[in-house]
Chains A and B, each alone.
Chain A
Amino acid sequence: QQPVQSPQAVILREGEDAVINCSSSKALYSVHWYRQKHGEAPVFLMILLKGGEQKGHDKISASFNEKKQQSSLYLTASQLSYSGTYFCGTDLQGAQKLVFGQGTRLTINP
């Protein structure tokens, strides 16, 4: 079952914040977040494991609500380099087999 991401697209000015949500209908073992730029492969951002986690690096952080089967990615004080399509990938059983959401296209304008 493909997780559902929201919003589908968002346009920001540089310095603004963004939140991208990922919701699953099934219990999750882990959630993975990636950013993909046009014509390139996805780049790993972070992984959150079941048990409920929050993680952050620089101005990008994420949370995982195991009970709600939801994860959110937070982008703070966005930079132009943050532009791209963000995907969440969900692992149901710990087999590292990821099912990806449909993606959220983030555009950062100067």
Chain B
Amino acid sequence: GAVVSQHPSWVICKSGTSVKIECRSLDFQATTMFWYRQFPKQSLMLMATSNEGSKATYEQGVEKDKFLINHASLTLSTLTVTSAHPEDSSFYICSAPVESGEQFFGPGTRLTVL
């Protein structure tokens, strides 16, 4: 299957700081990537769709000014959590679909805000 990487794997930051998470498709190009958030023992919740060359589309209830998404190239999307607070602590996962429709997930980034 296709390979999607994320960096960093985990991050601990102080409340009020911003954190950037990178998502890369390593062996294929992805015009679209998706960002999910998962709280402990819960399901994956779609946050936004990242579109190469255009603005991201956000799901209802997700603040676009707080979760900045930039799809800089066909292999890279970044999610920046601005002014992070403890309630933003979560497991953030990106995914990218391939031509056949299968969707592959990155390994995830665990964010802890103190």
Contact = CB atoms under 8 A, between A and B. Distances in A.
How big is chain B's contact interface, by range?
20 to 34
B6 to A, nearest CB: 8
A41 B97 contact: no
A89 B52 CA distance: 23
Interface stretch (B12-20, B70-78, B82-90, B105-113): B105-113
Interface of B is mostly: strand
Interface residues of A, number: 21
Contacts, number: 50
B106 A47 contact: no
28 contacts: A2-B43, A32-B103, A40-B107, A40-B108, A41-B93, A41-B106, A41-B107, A41-B108, A42-B44, A42-B105, A44-B1, A44-B103, A47-B101, A47-B102, A49-B101, A87-B43, A87-B44, A89-B103, A96-B32, A96-B34, A96-B101, A97-B46, A97-B49, A98-B95, A99-B46, A100-B43, A101-B43, A102-B42
Interface of A: 2, 30, 32, 34, 40-44, 47, 49, 87, 89, 96-103
Interface of B: 1, 32, 34, 42-46, 49, 93, 95, 97, 100-108
